[in-house]
Amino acid sequence: MHSSTVFLIEFGAIILALGLLGRFAGRLRFSPIPLYLLAGLAFGRGGLLPLGASEEFIAVGAEIGVILLLLMLGLEYTASDLVTNLKAHYPAGVVDCVLNALPGAALALLLGWGPVAAVVLAGVTWISSSGVIAKILGDLGRIGNRETPVVLSILVLEDLSMAVYLPILTALVAGIGLAAGGVTLAIALGAASLVLVLAVRYGRHISRFVSSDDPEKLLLVVLGLTLLIAGLAQQVQVSAAVGAFLVGIALSGEVAEGAYSLLAPLRDLFAAVFFVFFGLNTDPASIPPVLLPALGLAVVTALTKIATGYWAAGRAGVGPRARWRAGGTLVARGEFSIVIAGLAVTDGIEPSLGPLATAYVLILVLLGPLTARYTEPAASRLSRRLRRPVPANGKAGTSGREPHEPLDDQDSVGRA
DSSP symbols for 127-172: ---HHHHHHHHHHTT-TTSTTHHHHHHHHHHHHHHHHHHHHHHHHH
Task: From 350, 394, 384, select the one nearest 115 (Cα to Cα).
Answer: 350
Q: What confidence score (pLDDT) does residue 400 get? A: 43
Q: Beta-carbon neighbour count of residue 186 at 10 Å?
A: 11
**Pair 230, 244: CB distance under 8 Å:** yes
Q: Of 385, 382, 389, 384, which Cα lies nearest the Cα of 405?
A: 384
| pLDDT of amino acid 51 | 64
What pLDDT sits at residue 267?
Answer: 84
- State residue 55's pLDDT score: 67
CA–CA distance, 350 with 112 (Å, rounded to integer):
10
C-alpha distances (whole Å) from 165 to each of 119, 181, 265, 330, 347 are: 10, 11, 33, 20, 17
List Cβ neighbours of 227 (8 Å cut-off, separation of 6 or more).
Answer: 64, 67
pLDDT at 306: 96
For residue 50, the model assigns a pLDDT of: 65
Specify the pLDDT at position 103: 96
Sign of the Cα pseudo-torsion (203, 208, 212, 216, in order): negative
Stated pTM of the model: 0.72
CA distance to 58, 211, 324, 403, 406, per residue, from 388 (Å): 53, 56, 20, 11, 16
pLDDT for residue 125: 96
Q: What are the average pLDDT values for consecutive 10-residue runs of the chain, which has 416 residues?
A: 70 85 79 78 67 69 82 75 72 93 95 90 92 83 87 84 74 64 66 68 76 86 89 73 77 82 86 78 78 95 96 90 94 82 72 85 88 91 77 51 45 45
